[in-house]
Amino acid sequence: MQPRPAQADAHADAHADLVLRTVDGAMEAAGPQVCDDMTVEVALAVMAGSRTDRLLVCDEDGLCTGLVTQARLADVRESAAYTDRLRLRDVLGERGPFTSPMTTVTEAEHAMHYRRLTALPVVDEQGSALGVLALAR
């Protein structure tokens, strides 16, 4: 039996850390949060003013309902069905998707790739936004 090289142990430990690292340690600050009754036009203005490309959307109780991106809202604005009265809740549809701060980064990134998402809201047990997990660009 030969001893395992220290380099191999260090590599294995680093890999284990990456696999077990949770979203809580990898998420970004929540950033701007807006109400789901806001219009698309106002949301785009908020994004421009805050120099961000995404907004967390909350309902009237302050619970996170989802995330909208500048690209998504620009697509909506260019569609034939667009009116200046269109609200974020109409763009989002059903609630989610979300992740928990206790989910591993590996699991969350896999789900994001599967759903073709670049960012995912991180919510607590009550549904309040804690932050955003964003894929590296």
In a domain, 5, yes or no: no
Both tokens assigned to 111: 């789900």
Total structural domains within the chain: 1
Structural domain span for residue 124: 22-134
Q: What is the mean pLDDT of residues 114-132?
A: 92
pLDDT at residue 127 above 60? yes
In a domain, 96, yes or no: yes
Interior angle at CA 134, CA 51 and CA 36, nearest 5 = 60
In a domain, 10, yes or no: no
CATH number at residue 42: 3.10.580.10
2-52: pLDDT as tens digits: 555 555 454 445 445 556 789 998 888 888 899 999 999 999 999 999 999
Pinpoint the alpha helices (H) of the chain.
6-20, 40-50, 70-78, 88-92, 105-115
In a domain, 66, yes or no: yes
